[in-house]
Amino acid sequence: MMSFEEIKEKEERYSTGVYPKRDIVIKKGKGAYLWDINGKKYVDCVGGHGSANVGHCNPYVASAVKEQLETLTSCTEIFLYEKRALLLEELAKITPTGIEKFFLCNSGAEANEAAFKFARMLTGKNEIIATVKGFHGRTFGALSATWEKKYREYFYPLVPGFSHIPYNNLDALKEAVNENTAAFIIEVIQGEGGIRIGDEDYLRGVQKFLKEKGVLFIIDEVQTGFGRTGAWFASDLYGLEPDIITMAKSMGGGIPVGAMGIGANLENVKKLSHGSTFGGNPIAVASSLAVIKFIKDNDIINKTKELGRYFIESLKEISSPLIREVRGKGLMIGIEIKTKATPFLKKLADQGVLALPAGRNVLRFLPPLVIEKDDIDFVVEKVNKVLKV
């Protein structure tokens, strides 16, 4: 077994340096917990950046993937495959009304790339409107929809035809849409942008306006999907029915997978206009089916709703002059503080709680949805402790 120093030295020497790494070597995970190489246990509110909704080493996923590894590991979409057929059917059942067909891929950025390509192909128009503080991934199309300067500045020229308007501002959308607009993309809750929640009136107004104008409504549910907000998709919280929905992260229970879902009217789709070698691969398909079954069998959606309410209410009871606001839906929670978040994340980790930043001054909590009430009490106690001044 290598020491902490040896592992750190090798990662620093052989990786590109794009990731700011924390001084913690993770050894194993189970449910909502992670352990480091010294045996220290953490309550994991990073949750693989929101990809661990069903928990680390989920037993449904583990047994589905083990079985799949011994049955079939490669089967591209030029062939038919039973589990893929079942997954597509399940996705049609759990996604909002109107979403009926899916393009399977491997990540959130790829799901959004597919969304933009389909939006252009279906409408024959080329402009995509996105939002200030929106995050949609880092490949060129997805990055062009992503707002934050630090992700974009070294990579110009980006894809032409993308623009950004203020979030939660319907008038800005009305002004921005023109005869070349193919689609508007939004997160129901901006994750990376600081756990900023879309107003119900705004989101419904957006949907109504886009329908009137014949502009496609794309909802990016990469972070909010698969139970995270106490609903299968955050769109369900407001009865939204997007024309296109994108998902990834927790869909595969730890296995890389993503999907773009779209309505049934795909007359303009051309054969071979899009594709992916690993899209719809048997391992990702088996793990995604296991995730959906686990969520259903264990009533995870309702439990998340309740636990989320409890977590948010408990955090709101903390009295600290540093806290500006506690906000969230389900187990997608942010604490906006009056100063930089990162030093507090380090203090929390020392106390056995792993959490994320969102923007400069928001502490973000995306625990596995299998977290227990006692663990939430533990996290709240530690947040209280580190935010005491």
Ligand X SMILES: Cc1ncc(COP(=O)(O)O)c(C=O)c1O
Q: Catalogue the active-site residues.
A: 135, 220, 249
- Name which of 220 and 336 has its Cβ closer to ligand X: 220
- Whether 297 contacts 321, CB under 8 Å: no
Report the Cα 360 to chain-centroid distance in Å.
19
Binding residues for ligand X restricted to 201-260, rule: CB under 6 A: 220, 222-223, 248
Of the candidate residues 108, 254, 261, 280, the single one contacting ligand X (CB under 6 A): 108
- Cβ burial 106-130 (10 Å sphere, 16+ → b, else e): bbbbbbbbbbbebbbebbebebbbb
Minimum gap (Å) between residue 271 Cβ and ligand X: 26
Minimum gap (Å) between residue 142 Cβ and ligand X: 6
Tokens 């199309």 found at:
141
User: Helix 282-297 and helix 82-94: axis angle, to 10°?
Assistant: 40
Distance CA 203, CA 201 (A): 6
What is the distance between the terminal CA atoms of the chain, rounded to a whole angstrom? 40
Binding map of ligand X across residues 44-73, x = CB under 6 A, - = no contact: -----x------------------------
Stretch that binds ligand X, among 27-35, 101-109, 113-121, 304-312 (CB under 6 A): 101-109
Binding map of ligand X across residues 133-152, x = CB under 6 A, - = no contact: --xxx---------------
Distance CA 135, CA 186 (A): 9
Tokens for 309, please give them: 């309410």
**Count residues contacting ligand X (CB under 6 A)?**
15
113 binds ligand X (CB under 6 A): no
Binding map of ligand X across residues 168-197, x = CB under 6 A, - = no contact: -------------------x---xx-----
- Name which of 44 and 375 has its Cβ closer to ligand X: 44
In degrees and rounded to multiples of 5, residue 282 shows phi and psi of -60, -35
Minimum gap (Å) between residue 223 Cβ and ligand X: 4
Strands 323-329 and 332-337: antiparallel
Minimum gap (Å) between residue 180 Cβ and ligand X: 24
- Whether 379 contacts 45, CB under 8 Å: yes
Distance CA 227, CA 52 (A): 11
Minimum gap (Å) between residue 150 Cβ and ligand X: 14
Residues forming the site for ligand X (CB under 6 A): 49, 107-109, 112, 135-137, 187, 191-192, 220, 222-223, 248
